[in-house]
Structure 1
Amino acid sequence: MTPAWYPEIGMSFLKQILVALVTVVVAGGLWISFFPGAPEVLSRWGIDWASASVPERTRQEQAGGGFGQQNAIVVSAEIGSSTINDRLSAIGTGRALSTVSVTPFAAGRLNEILVQSGSRVEAGDIIATLDSDTEEIAVDRAQISLEDANSRLERVQALRTSNTVTAVQLNEAQLAVNNARLQLRDAELTLSRRSIVAPISGIVGILPVSAGNYVTAQTEIATIDDRSRIVIDFWAPERFAGMISVGQTVTASSVARPGQSYEGVVSAVDNRIDSQSRTLRIQASIENEDDTLRAGMSFQTQMQFPGDTYPSVDPLAIQWGTDGAFVWLVQNGVARRAPVTIIQRNTESVLVSADFGDANAVVTEGIHSVREGAEVRVVSGPGGAQPQAAISPTDS
């Protein structure tokens, strides 16, 4: 036997289904009528009849980006341009044009030092001497031997005219003279090397030895710096490798002398990139005529290059989609989507690589209501000033 309340349950369930269907239909109609992208979504689903049933005015309102208005209201910003990789700034270390550590040719006791620290010397000047008594004796002995050989040669030549001596004896006498002359030159060279001379012109540094010290061929007597020009060693990032060449202008300022800058030129460029730091070694030369700069100083070096110019947009204009970054352009009052590649982010701008055509502004606010090809109304132009029509009136 069937209970009497079964028909009542069936009727209640049917009413609930009808109410749910009506709710779904009404919600769908509202979504089709007022959601901005509804016609496109229905078209992709193959439901063209629903899109066709939307009134033309409603579709225009959707394209305008809002309910009851024709065009989307947006704020725009001007598209600028910025140049990057146009300047190289690096810290470098200066050194003298030439630096020589002077050592003697032979060992001995240091007799005399003829220069002081800070003295300017010319190439060939004697700066110190070693004991040379033995070498002086050797020179005198070689001179006596040469005189004796010359006298013997003269006698042999005189006897040769009377055929008293043979040609072989004459040749031996001549050979003895030549050997004696070479022995004299050797003794004089050994004696000259007891004097320590400056190999270059420059300034003498602090002397590490004093007269009376015994020195060897490895002992440093003095250091001489030719600082008529200062050579600065600095390292440039590898992206500048193809832009730097010998002869380019360099501006250098000493950290120890702020406010003063010096003009120089690139004197040498290394032939390879350092694999650890990914930098290229550069040498620049600057004049030091007044001798105010010293080796070992640190310098801030700068070089100018043409650089690379890219469009610059407001950071708020950058949007992201499934295919990457893009911006909304405002061109003749119509919105156009343009994909971009971000090159560099700055505090107040973003440098991008993109084809903007003749568009000169991008949308920064009101982006949610912008659609491709839809007309937009800009209420804040590139200069940031709002038109009077867009400003709310103030009661007087």
Structure 2
Amino acid sequence: MVKRLVIAVVLLGLIVGGIVGFNLFRDKMIADFFAGREPAPVTVSTSPAQAIRWAPGIEAIGTAVAAQGVDLAIESGGTVREILFAANDPIKAGQKLLQISEREERADLAAAQAAMDLAETELARQRTLQQRGVSALNNFDIAQAEAVSARAQVAKLQAVLQQKELVAPFDGVIGIPRVDLGEYVTVGTVYATLQDLSRMRVDFAVPEQQIAVVKAGLPVSVSSEVSDYRARGRIIGIEPKVDPNSRLVTVRAEVDNTDGTLLPGQFLRVRVELPEEDGVIAVPQTALMSSLYGDSVYVLRKGDGETRTVEQVFVTAGRRSGGMIEIIRGLSPGDEVVNAGQNRLSGGAAVTVDNTVAPPAAVAGQ
């Protein structure tokens, strides 16, 4: 019995030892295989760091505002007698748009004009008598005061009638009528909107850090995301204070809109175009990598044949414009930087260059 137990233990030990030895041998062979194996070169695309003519700008979001635009309101209450426009009609300054019932005021005006005529006649009579010396000066003064009062009453009623006849204050396009014939309206009721669409203003905001470079007269370009609208204009005003809540400064520009494509209230992308600068080193934005250690790029170094190596270089990045980014420190003109495929790289890695796989932004920047 003891002999069988000893034999079993020996056999078990041989089996376990063989398994452990085999695993150790296998792990060593695998480690030796990978230790002696060179990784395959990574395919990347590159572009040169160039000293270019830099066109800096400030990107912002804006809102279209008509150069002239008002909500037309009723000046005097009453019943709507005439509506003399339809939605989207082109309107000329001074054109009659709405008539409020004015029968009572016209009757009052007729009475006032009759009283004025009588007062003028009496004033003329008293002037003649006073010149002949057969009338007291007091009677002439009374007649003159009554004539002045009668004229003022006529002028007052004429002004009331003008408030019943509503006209356009400027040229533009009128909106949808908001009142109906026969409707009783009160003072201040809005009956339509009138917008001058020939010129458009764009209101946008810039950070307070950039307000020092924003000046009246600087060119701007605007575009809409819902149409192919593109236009250029200039800055016409800058708010002389900073919003304490957002730390932004409101800026207004004016752009052309002769075809009426742009409408008030529309969302726009705005770019303030700053003076150009020469000799700015720039690379495609896709070449820049950011981490906790800072911004860096991979730069191509020498190699054998088509295979080359890369070096990770930390840089100081500056302004962005379109698909390019300014490099303030860390690169020299002519350095070849990797703009695609760098997520699989490390310092000293072997690469092959294939610029047919370059991202569109990098191609546009070259």
Cα pair 1:90 1:235 within 8 Å, conserved: yes
Which residue identity does 1:274 align to in structure 2? D
Which residue identity does 1:299 align to in structure 2? L
Residue from 321, 327, 351 that aligns with 1:351: 327
Q: Does 1:149 align with 2:83?
A: no
Taking structure 1 as reference, are residues 193 and 366 closer, same or farther at Cα in structure 2, changes over 3 Å only?
closer
* Distance in 2 of aligned mates of 1:366 and 1:191: 85
User: Over alpha carbons, which structure has the higher Rg?
Assistant: 1
Residue from 153, 164, 175 that aligns with 1:205: 175
- SS for the counterpart of 1:273 is coil
- SS for the counterpart of 1:271 is coil
Q: What is residue 283 of structure 1 aligned with on the other side? A: 252
Matches within 5 A, 1:94-109: 94-109=64-79
Q: What is residue 26 of structure 1 aligned with on the other side? A: none
Residue from 147, 151, 154 that aligns with 1:184: 154
What is the CA-CA distance between 1:186 and the residue it aligns to?
A: 1.0
RMSD across aligned positions (CA): 4.3
Please list the CA deviations of residues 204-258 of structure 1 after superposition, one character each: whole Å capped at 9, or x if unmatched: 1111111111101121111100111111122223332111111111111221223
Q: What is residue 384 of structure 1 aligned with on the other side? A: none
Q: Which protein, 1 or 2, shows the higher relative CO under an 8 Å CA cutoff with sep ≥ 6?
A: 2
* Distance in 2 of aligned mates of 1:87 and 1:216: 50
Please list the CA deviations of residues 18-67 of structure 1 after superposition, one character each: whole Å capped at 9, or x if unmatched: xxxxxxxxxxxxxxxxxxxxxxxxxxxxxxxxxxxxxxxxxxxxxxxxxx
* Distance in 2 of aligned mates of 1:106 and 1:280: 40
Residue from 220, 224, 241 that aligns with 2:211: 241
* Distance in 2 of aligned mates of 1:237 and 1:85: 19
Q: What is residue 138 of structure 2 aligned with on the other side? A: 168
Residue from 172, 177, 197 that aligns with 1:227: 197
Residue from 211, 234, 237 that aligns with 1:268: 237
Which residue identity does 2:327 align to in structure 1? L
Residue from 316, 331, 339 that aligns with 1:342: 316
* Distance in 1 of aligned mates of 2:319 and 2:74: 61
Cα pair 2:65 2:201 within 8 Å, conserved: yes
Cα pair 2:220 2:272 within 8 Å, conserved: yes
* Distance in 1 of aligned mates of 2:324 and 2:132: 109
Which residue identity does 1:342 align to in structure 2? T
User: More strand per residue: 1 or 2?
Assistant: 2
Q: What is residue 40 of structure 1 aligned with on the other side? A: none
Taking structure 1 as reference, are residues 359 and 243 closer, same or farther at Cα in structure 2, changes over 3 Å only?
closer
Residue from 55, 62, 71 that aligns with 1:92: 62
* Distance in 2 of aligned mates of 1:276 and 1:106: 41
What is the CA-CA distance between 1:136 and the residue it aligns to?
A: 0.4
Taking structure 1 as reference, are residues 152 and 81 closer, same or farther at Cα in structure 2, changes over 3 Å only?
same
* Distance in 1 of aligned mates of 2:335 and 2:182: 83
* Distance in 2 of aligned mates of 1:102 and 1:215: 13
Please list the CA deviations of residues 160-183 of structure 1 after superposition, one character each: whole Å capped at 9, or x if unmatched: 244221112112212211111111
Q: Does 1:133 align with 2:103?
A: yes
Q: Which runs of 5+ in 2 are unaligned?
A: 1-46, 302-313, 337-344, 352-366
Taking structure 1 as reference, are residues 179 and 256 closer, same or farther at Cα in structure 2, changes over 3 Å only?
same
Which residue identity does 1:278 align to in structure 2? R
What is the CA-CA distance between 1:187 and the residue it aligns to?
A: 1.4
* Distance in 2 of aligned mates of 1:230 and 1:291: 9
Cα pair 1:249 1:303 within 8 Å, conserved: yes
Which residue identity does 2:96 align to in structure 1? I
What is the CA-CA distance between 1:144 and the residue it aligns to?
A: 0.9
Q: What is residue 58 of structure 1 aligned with on the other side? A: none
Taking structure 1 as reference, are residues 224 and 315 closer, same or farther at Cα in structure 2, changes over 3 Å only?
closer
TM-score w.r.t. the length of structure 1 is 0.59
What is the CA-CA distance between 1:130 and the residue it aligns to?
A: 0.7
Cα pair 1:310 1:353 within 8 Å, conserved: no
* Distance in 1 of aligned mates of 2:218 and 2:326: 31
Please list the CA deviations of residues 95-122 of structure 1 after superposition, one character each: whole Å capped at 9, or x if unmatched: 2111111112211111110011111112
Taking structure 1 as reference, are residues 273 and 85 closer, same or farther at Cα in structure 2, changes over 3 Å only?
farther
Cα pair 1:251 1:262 within 8 Å, conserved: yes
* Distance in 1 of aligned mates of 2:319 and 2:70: 49
Q: Which runs of 5+ in 1 are unaligned?
A: 1-76, 331-339, 369-379, 381-396
Which residue identity does 2:256 align to in structure 1? E
Cα pair 2:62 2:268 within 8 Å, conserved: yes
Matches within 5 A, 1:117-128: 117-128=87-98
What is the CA-CA distance between 1:361 and the residue it aligns to?
A: 7.4
